[in-house]
Structure 1
Amino acid sequence: MSADLIKVTYRIETAGDPAAMAANIASDQSTGTFTELPGETEAVRARCAARVLSVTALPDLDQPSLPNTGATGPVKRADAVIAYPLDAVGTDIAALMTITIGGVFAIRGVTGIRVMDIDLPEAWSCHPGPQFGVEGSRRLMGVQEGPMIASIIKPSLGLLPDETAEVVRQLCEAGVDFIKDDEKLMSPAYSPLEARVKAIMPVIEDHQQRTGKKVMYAFGISSADPDQMMRNHDIVTAHGGNAAVININSVGYGGMSFLRKRSALCLHAHRNGWDILTRHPALGMEFRAYQKIWRLLGVDQFQINGIQAKYWEPDDSFVASFKAVREPIFSDADRPLPVVCSGQWGGQAYETYQRTGKTLDLMYLGGGGIHGHPMGLASGVRAIRQAWDAAAAETPLATYAATHPELRAALDKWGPV
């Protein structure tokens, strides 16, 4: 029977009894409502009612996390696991989000509620998952081992197509494995997607002809219109491209599903907008729960910030995100490539290596940390490679930098870590 259950872990905060609140959520999100119903028979409940599997108490809080709840504190907290019958939800993502997640935030009496995890039964392996993932990304980039060193077009906005192509040429010559459009760059008037593709792909192909290496370039093809997104996809493939940046929250579950079923591109996910769902610690979703859905929908590469990121996210949160995308849902084939990003310049490589299980199965994405290097763009790439060589050898960066001037210059400008 457990194989036919969808289990969701909620962190409940309430002035009342968390166990009673969990029971209320299970009822309200399945067969029940605010009053007894003559049609809610034992047979109906057996078929479709959610039930509470466990309630684990957590330390109380002096004050409620959310305003306007009528509670003054102290408030109680607990992690509750609620099981939903597969027969009641099925394997549709819209049904899952509606039944197990969407409605819980409207429950009266909570002063905080957060989705911590989702445990899906084997029936959910029906979703396509990554088309390329870790191994496919390595194959397309021609990187058999070690981290995949990547960069972003900078400035993020404003460059004309031929100006962008010149930056691409410099990055290819500097030895990167991957380049991407910034997530904010899709098809603006000054750099329409088709014009940008036509300017960039000859540079990629020329570099491949001269060196044998095809640098992966991910073009921003996102659109709220799935048909337009597919037209964008087709422009990239028609000119020999093999990757795309997808703003997953902007295109939505349906858009991502539509694209993945038809896509020939390696799909690089940018999660902008996720912070809305997670930044309040007593509300929203943990990345551990959030990322499972996008992986099932077909994300090949997943941006997850990094150590000492330029944004708000603490290092512990990044480490948890990294570990989450590395864990199989149903098999190793559904693991995307973790993309370490956000203010990375090489100085974070050692700690990243140590805290992520000493794995080199990752993409390390430098924007300003490459383009802003004091010795130039090529030295920025070399400095990051040197930092990862030091990390893999477990040599302190300062020691390695003594004989590697590019890393030394980066440490002098942005360090110490």
Structure 2
Amino acid sequence: MPKDMINVVYTIKNDGRDIKKLAHNIAVGQTIGIWNELSGNVRLQISKHLAEVVSIEESSFTSTVKIAFPIENFGSDLGALLTAVYGKISLVPKIKLEDIEFSQNYLNLFKGPRFGISGIRDQLGKKEKPLLMSIFKPCLGLSHGELGNMFYEQAEAGIDIVKDDEILYDKDFNQTLKRLEACLGAKEKAKAKTIYAINLTGQANEILDRAVQLEKNGALCILFNYVSYGLPLLTSLRQTVSIPIMAHPAFAGAICMGSTSGLSEQLLLAKLPRIAGADFVLFPSQYGSLSWEKNIVLSINKELTKPLIHIKPSWPVPSAGIKANMVKEIILDFGEDIVINAGTAVWEHKDGGLAGAKEFIKEVESLNLVSPRSS
């Protein structure tokens, strides 16, 4: 019976190494450990677990190596997947994990986003146009009551989503449940559909229980630092709660910013969180304070939204330094199925947060929406 496989793509810097030998060592070392030294009977017994080199494309500076790994080795455990395909190989210089080509059988192991783009639109009663999101700024030092007042202001203005900053934790000066209560009260007072994305933090053995507690207390969306806390926990979170999950990329730069090592941006910031169940995924934009390369940003957007069997699309949330005068450019690049992460610019407005929110809303309302332009 043929093995059920997924293809894993690496780029390897050409620096005198024997690429064919290196590819063979990856295939063997990341699966069964040894091969040539084994007897025929043992080989037959464990051969179904052996990875296979599919192709090697060599060029002047880099080689692209594709290796097929048996799904049986790791199943739906994303921690096991990453350990299998890149674990100790990540410690070898100048080998980058570019892509994982998921088979249909592998994707069938995952549920993906619970709501996706259309489900969130249904919640908000907003069938078209980009969504607008603001973030609590300043993020530390304010009481839950003060944040509740800020939420009310944003909901009154017509902002679709207000999220915690990723560094707003559950602390004595601002406890998560009290913050949730204050923001839900503000939402009711404003008679708004605004979604509050509350930051879920804590020790690993507490996270899922805390998520359940937040949902029971009325939370409508969870913000989760999935790179810091781990993809397997994101998958478990998707299976545990029935509210949307917003995936934040904090710490991702340590993993995906290397030109010759680490994971590619579209794999870490799109493919993996999408199958794990994130309804929204934040990533740096090409416009603001981080200014990533446009082709990388658009490839992330494509991976989040392209058809993928039963897996719903995730909302792309290009972020960092977004200002109101960038709204037209954002819509031209991404189309209307996008969350415009207004962030700090809302609160830096000379007339305050309410005026800052309305400025973004005015920019969106004034535009005739178009399909994304081709890059």
TM more than 0.5? yes
Of 183, 186, 211, which aligns to 1:200? 183
Of 104, 118, 130, which aligns to 2:89? 104
Find the counterpart in structure 2 of residue 56 from structure 1: 57
Contact 1:31 / 1:40 at 8 angstroms: preserved in 2? no
1:187, CA displacement in angstroms? 0.7
1:32, CA displacement in angstroms? 4.2
Task: Report whether the alignment pairs 1:183 with 2:163.
Answer: no
Contact 1:48 / 1:85 at 8 angstroms: preserved in 2? yes
Alpha-carbon distance between aligned partners in 1 of 2:271 and 2:282, rounded to the nearest angstrom: 14
Question: Relative to structure 1, is the Cα distance of residues 79 and 165 closer, same or farther in structure 2, using a 3 angstrom cutoff?
Answer: same
Task: Report whether the alignment pairs 1:123 with 2:123.
Answer: no
Task: Give RMSD over aligned pairs.
Answer: 2.3
Of 187, 209, 229, which aligns to 2:207? 229
Alpha-carbon distance between aligned partners in 2 of 1:220 and 1:254, rounded to the nearest angstrom: 18
Equivalent residue pairs, number: 367
Contact 2:56 / 2:64 at 8 angstroms: preserved in 1? yes
Bigger Cα Rg: 1
Question: Relative to structure 1, is the Cα distance of residues 100 and 39 closer, same or farther in structure 2, using a 3 angstrom cutoff?
Answer: farther
Aligned AA for 1:324? Answer: E
Question: Relative to structure 1, is the Cα distance of residues 94 and 367 closer, same or farther in structure 2, using a 3 angstrom cutoff?
Answer: closer
Alpha-carbon distance between aligned partners in 2 of 1:168 and 1:88, rounded to the nearest angstrom: 47
Alpha-carbon distance between aligned partners in 1 of 2:41 and 2:342, rounded to the nearest angstrom: 57
Q: Residue 126 of structure 2: SS of its match in structure 1?
A: coil
For structure 1, which segment, 180-189 or 317-326, has the greater mean C-alpha deviation from structure 2 after superposition? Answer: 317-326
Name the structure, 1 or 2, with higher relative contact order (CA <8 Å, separation 6+): 2
1:346, CA displacement in angstroms? 2.3
Find the counterpart in structure 2 of residue 402 from structure 1: none
Alpha-carbon distance between aligned partners in 2 of 1:167 and 1:355, rounded to the nearest angstrom: 30
1:140, CA displacement in angstroms? 1.8
Question: Percent identity of the aligned residues?
Answer: 24
Task: Report whether the alignment pairs 1:385 with 2:351.
Answer: no
Q: Residue 94 of structure 2: SS of its match in structure 1?
A: strand
Q: Residue 325 of structure 2: SS of its match in structure 1?
A: coil
Alpha-carbon distance between aligned partners in 2 of 1:360 and 1:29, rounded to the nearest angstrom: 42
1:266, CA displacement in angstroms? 1.0
Tell me the TM-score normalised to structure 2 length: 0.90
Tell me the TM-score normalised to structure 1 length: 0.81
Find the counterpart in structure 2 of residue 337 from structure 1: 315
Find the counterpart in structure 1 of residue 225 from structure 2: 247
1:276, CA displacement in angstroms? 0.6
Contact 2:246 / 2:279 at 8 angstroms: preserved in 1? yes
Of 282, 287, 306, which aligns to 1:327? 306
Deviations 1:303-326 (A, max 9, x none): 112222313633332222112211
Deviations 1:147-203 (A, max 9, x none): 001100110211101111111111111110110110111212210111111222111
1:126, CA displacement in angstroms? 1.8
Alpha-carbon distance between aligned partners in 1 of 2:80 and 2:354, rounded to the nearest angstrom: 49
Task: Report whether the alignment pairs 1:133 with 2:116.
Answer: yes
Deviations 1:45-66 (A, max 9, x none): 7422211111122342xxxxxx
Alpha-carbon distance between aligned partners in 2 of 1:173 and 1:256, rounded to the nearest angstrom: 32
Deviations 1:326-361 (A, max 9, x none): 123333x431111122110122223322333xx201
Question: Relative to structure 1, is the Cα distance of residues 328 and 274 closer, same or farther in structure 2, using a 3 angstrom cutoff?
Answer: farther
Find the counterpart in structure 2 of residue 412 from structure 1: none
Alpha-carbon distance between aligned partners in 2 of 1:40 and 1:348, rounded to the nearest angstrom: 64
Gaps of 5+ in 2: 371-375
Task: Report whether the alignment pairs 1:152 with 2:130.
Answer: no
Question: Relative to structure 1, is the Cα distance of residues 39 and 277 closer, same or farther in structure 2, using a 3 angstrom cutoff?
Answer: farther
Q: How is 1:250-289 mapped onto 2 (pairs within 5 angstroms)?
A: 250-289=228-267
Q: Residue 52 of structure 1: SS of its match in structure 2?
A: strand
Contact 2:284 / 2:291 at 8 angstroms: preserved in 1? no
Q: Residue 246 of structure 1: SS of its match in structure 2?
A: strand
Alpha-carbon distance between aligned partners in 2 of 1:42 and 1:230, rounded to the nearest angstrom: 42
